[in-house]
A and B are shown apart, each in its own frame.
Chain A
Amino acid sequence: MISLRNVSLVYPNGVHALDKVNFEIAKGEFVFLVGHSGTGKSSLLRLLYREARPSTGEITVDGIRVDRLRRRRVPALRRHLGVVFQDFKLLTDKTVWENVAFAMQVTGAHTRDVMRQVPRVLDLVGLSHKSRMYPGELSGGEQQRSAIARALVNNPKILLCDEPTGNLDPSNTSEVMELLLRINLKGTTVVVATHNQAVVDRMRRRVVRLEDGRIVTDEERGYYYLGLGQGQILSG
C-alpha cells in the first residue's frame, strides 16, 4: 500500500530531514512512526500526501508514484488519503456536520452522496448527536474525532495521523486511539506519527522508529523504546 525506497529529503537550508529511508506498509496495517520531535516523522508523512517531494528516492502510495506526481494530479492522490493533525484543523465557523461535509463538497461530490455519507462517518466517530455544534463547543477529543470523520468521509484507503493525540488529555487520547483502531479493523491502513509513549506501549502494534532522519528499528508489536517493557522509562 505504501512503499519508500531510498527516500531522502534535504531542505533548502541544508538540513537532512530524511536520509535513505526504506520501508513498506501493507494494506490494512496499523503502524506507529515514533521518534523525538524533529526526527523526520512529520516530514515522512508530508511526503506521503505530497505536501513535500523527496530529494531522491521512490515513493509509492496506493499504486501512485508520489515522488513523480504532477501538481495537477495531487488532488486525485489526496482523495485516496485521509490526513489528521495534532491541531485538528477544523473550521471554527462551521458546525461539525459542515466541517465533515466540506471535504466532500469541495471535491465536487453530489449532494445526495454528501447526505448519505456524512451521517455514516459521524455515526462511526460517535458524534451524530453533536453534528450541529461548533468546534469551539466540543472537547479536544470530540474535535479530533470530527477531524477524523472529515478525513474518512471520502472513503480513503489510508489514514495518516500526525500526532493525533498531541493536544489531548489521557482519556481523550484513548478515546481517539480506540477510534483509530476501529477504523483500522474496518480495513483502512492507518499510519500514526507520535511521541506519546503510553499510546504506543498500550497498543502493541508495528513501531517504526526514526532517529535523525533514519529508520533505526522496525518492530512488529513493538514498544516506544526499543526492547523495553511497559512502564520502564529511560531518563534523559
Chain B
Amino acid sequence: MKLVRINLVIILMLIFTILSCSKSRSTDKEDINAVIKLAEKRYPGNENVKNAVIQFANTVLLDLKNPENARKTHDQNLKSVGCLYLVTNGDYSFFKELEKEIINTSEKNHLYLKYNAKLSGLSYTVPIANENDCDFKIK
C-alpha cells in the first residue's frame, strides 16, 4: 500500500513537471501572441507596429524551421527588418527585445546560430527602408 502511495506521488510529480514544461511557450502561435503583447506594451494601439512584429516573428520562426535554406529565405528577413525599422522609427532596443522574445529556447538559439552561419560570407544590399518592405498596408 505504501509502495502504491509512493508511486502515485511520483506519477503526480511527473504530471506536474510535464504541465509546467508545457507552460513555457512552444508553438508559433504562442510566440506571435507574446510579440503582439510586447508591441502593445511599447506602442499601445499602433496597428503598424503590431503588424510589423507579426511579419518579423513569422520570418524568424520560418528561419528556425529551415536554417539550411538561409540563403533562399534571406530576402524576406531583410524586408521584415526594413518594415520594423520604418514603423518604429529605428527603435533598436525594441528590436532587441523582440528578437529575444522570439528566439526563446536553447534549441531555437542553437538553430539560429546554424541559420546565421549559413549566411556567413554572403554580401547583400540593404535598400532604404520603405513601405514595400511591409506585407501589409501601412495605415
| Bound together | no
Q: A residues bordering B, Cβ < 8 Å?
A: none
Q: B residues bordering A, Cβ < 8 Å?
A: none
